[in-house]
Amino acid sequence: MKPPLRLSLLILIFLAVACKPPDDPIPTLPTPQTTSIKTDEPINMLFASPAYGMHLTTWWQPDVIWRDMDLVKEMGFGWVKQPVAWSDIEKGQDGFDWYFLDEVIVPGAESRGLKLLLRLDRSPLWAVEEKPGLSANTPPQDFADYGDFCGQMAARYRGRVQAYQVWNEPNLHREWGNAKPDPVAYTQLLKVCYEAIK
């Protein structure tokens, strides 16, 4: 026999063995039975848990954030988490710019019956030590400055903002000024902000 003929014969034998029907037939599953239940109560298809929400990051676009808040409400969530960059609110040490929170974020959540969690981070340049490799989320040199910001925020929106997140992911290098995460320093920062907010 020629080698190509042998190879062809081997392939045919292999296919015949591989394609033969199984010795035992595959059992068929019974058809599931469905039962409908009549009720006078409407079925709530919304996700009713107030402990769940959505994180929004459309800071400078009112039409987008209002659309997104509408979608959050439509999906049945009860909370919105919105980042608030300290650097956007207190660009200099001479005052605060509350416009976007006053005109867009807070009333947008209130008018839709959404609870609001504000994430407070992103120090302004005047509050951080200038050094090479500085990240956009560097903790301040003086935690009291951050505490003042947190306190001003809480006083202004008392009763209108339900929760605050102090800093974002301080366990990550990039979120802690491109420096080694520092649990002790973060605990101090958290304490300063907590004391100012309560």
Give the strand pairing for 163-166 and 115-121: parallel
Would 100 be classed as within a structural domain? yes
20 vs 180 pLDDT, higher one: 180
Would 2 be classed as within a structural domain? no
**pTM summary value:** 0.72
Would 17 be classed as within a structural domain? no
SS3 annotation, 17-41? HHCCCCCCCCCCCCCCCCCCCCCCC
Cα dihedral 70→71→72→73 (10° resolution): 50
Would 47 be classed as within a structural domain? no
CATH number of the domain where residue 169 is located: 3.20.20.80
Summarised one tens digit per residue, pLDDT across range 36-90 is: 767 666 555 555 555 678 888 876 789 999 999 999 999 999 999 999 999 999 9
Total structural domains within the chain: 1
Would 166 be classed as within a structural domain? yes
Would 172 be classed as within a structural domain? yes
The full length of the chain comes to 198
pLDDT, residue 46, reads 56
pLDDT, residue 176, reads 92
111 vs 131 pLDDT, higher one: 111
Would 88 be classed as within a structural domain? yes
Question: Are residues 80 and 56 in contact, defined by beta-carbon separation less than 8 angstroms?
Answer: yes
Helix axes 183-197, 143-156, angle to 10 degrees: 30
Q: Which domain holds residue 110?
A: 53-197
| Averaged pLDDT, 176-190 | 95
